[in-house]
Amino acid sequence: MSNRDSIHRLRSKTTLRAPITEPRSLMFDRQRRTFFVALLVTVGVAFAVAGLTLWFVLIRPQTTALNQAVLGIIVHVLFGYVVMMAGVSIARNKFSIHQCVTAVKWCFGGAAFMGLLAVWRALPELRAGANLLGILNELVLIGSVGAAAGVLVGLNRGQAIRNRELVSQKETREETLVFLLRLLDHDIGNHLFAISNHARSIRPSTFDPSPTPSEAIEERAANIERLLETANVVLESETGDTSFDRVDLSSVIREQANIVRADVPDVDLCVELTDELYVECDRFVGDVFRNLLENAVVHNPSDDLTVTVTGSVVDDAVEVAIEDDGVGIPDDVREDLFDPGVRGDVSPGDGIGLYLVRKFVKSYDGSISMSDRSPNGTRFQLRFPRAAIDNSSS
């Protein structure tokens, strides 16, 4: 049985998905968002209460007209209320952490800037021994104006950044889906044409007991099945839930390696991993290592082939290396190896496997690189940010 047949049997038996765990990253983001919301609400309430209190102490005794009293209360409370409602808006609309940070930075920046201007303006009065409560009232009022203006600018800038990110994501999705449609149209059309030709060669009058036409049809059907599986993975990754979970890569890699080892026993597959290689990723992380292992097995002769997988924690990252001592990557595809549709002249693949690998790795804020292995073979190096330590059970 060829390596390619073994891998097809592997795919038809199972599609590995990463173990599902509780989404710690979402919980952590929700906690951070709650903190920023509470911070803005507290700042807004503090400005409103301080302004109202100072107005009653300093200005209310001198105010006789009702309209002046109402206007004074509104002016001293309004801007603190704006800051407070900005925090409520963040809570209701589930802004991203980046938007929250931007809003808080601009809020405190605006309050500090306007507050410094108020102090600078009041320096002559302070030297002359003016009433400190009057200067404090001016500082609170002007500071609240700066905080309100800052938080509104921050929310607007955060939303603008978010809009640019959404446009970029949309363009990337459109590019991926267009490539997928072209791939399906081209490759499935070729496979169906070949199936039709092989089917016509099987006739009762000229029936040849040789299984060659049947094998050719089976192979083409397997290619169509593989293309549809790939299309399903792409569509799920583009349109499905993008939330990440805390996943131990060591268990994912070992399970993938065991499946490949069972289906391609001629290959010497060595796995040397430390435990607890936790990263934040989704269920497609299994496809990353499945594609890399299949890439090593399918594109190299299985006789005397050794594939080695190593992984460990390095500083705040998880690093995984997949090496083989095969024939290496052809020079004509080396530069564009991770681009869609790139494959060697004799490659049996569809040119999308390594493209998906890089796509998924980048979505996990990771990186992947390819290099030659001495004296021969290929090395893929992956690096992921290490997931935060789970303290929920302690």
Has residue 57 got a pLDDT over 50? yes
Which pLDDT band holds residue 33 (cuts at 50, 70, 90)?
confident
Look at residue 96 in the predicted model and tell me its pLDDT: 78
Look at residue 393 in the predicted model and tell me its pLDDT: 45
Better-predicted residue by pLDDT, 198 or 290: 290
How far is Cα 168 from Cα 171, in angstroms, rounded to an integer? 5
Structural contact between residues 289 and 252, judged by C-beta atoms closer than 8 angstroms: yes
Percent of the chain scoring above 90 in pLDDT = 14
What burial class does residue 301 get, using C-beta atoms within 10 Å of its C-beta: 0-12 exposed, 13-18 middle, 19+ buried? Answer: exposed
Reported CATH class of domain 3-14+243-385 = alpha beta
pLDDT digits (tens, 9 = 90+) for 237-263: 565 556 788 899 999 999 889 888 887
What burial class does residue 393 get, using C-beta atoms within 10 Å of its C-beta: 0-12 exposed, 13-18 middle, 19+ buried? Answer: exposed
Look at residue 14 in the predicted model and tell me its pLDDT: 41
Has residue 367 got a pLDDT over 90? yes
Look at residue 203 in the predicted model and tell me its pLDDT: 53
State how far the alpha carbon of 285 is from the alpha carbons of 184, 321, 326, in Å: 23, 15, 25
Mean pLDDT of 297-310: 84
Average pLDDT, the chain: 78
Look at residue 250 in the predicted model and tell me its pLDDT: 92
Helix ranges (DSSP H) in 55-96: 66-93
> 92-96, 355-359, 390-394: lowest mean pLDDT where?
390-394
Look at residue 175 in the predicted model and tell me its pLDDT: 72
Residue with tokens 């070992």: 254
Look at residue 21 in the predicted model and tell me its pLDDT: 44
> 199-213, 292-306, 360-374: lowest mean pLDDT where?
199-213
- Specify the pTM: 0.51
Taking Cα atoms as reference points, which of 265, 259, 328 lies closest to residue 302? 265
Look at residue 15 in the predicted model and tell me its pLDDT: 43
Look at residue 229 in the predicted model and tell me its pLDDT: 65
Has residue 153 got a pLDDT over 80? yes
Look at residue 394 in the predicted model and tell me its pLDDT: 43
Look at residue 284 in the predicted model and tell me its pLDDT: 82
Structural contact between residues 21 and 247, judged by C-beta atoms closer than 8 angstroms: yes
Better-predicted residue by pLDDT, 237 or 305: 305
pLDDT digits (tens, 9 = 90+) for 217-235: 766 666 666 666 666 666 6
**125 phi and psi angles, rounded to 5 deg:** -65, -35
Structural contact between residues 384 and 279, judged by C-beta atoms closer than 8 angstroms: yes
Mean pLDDT of 358-374: 89
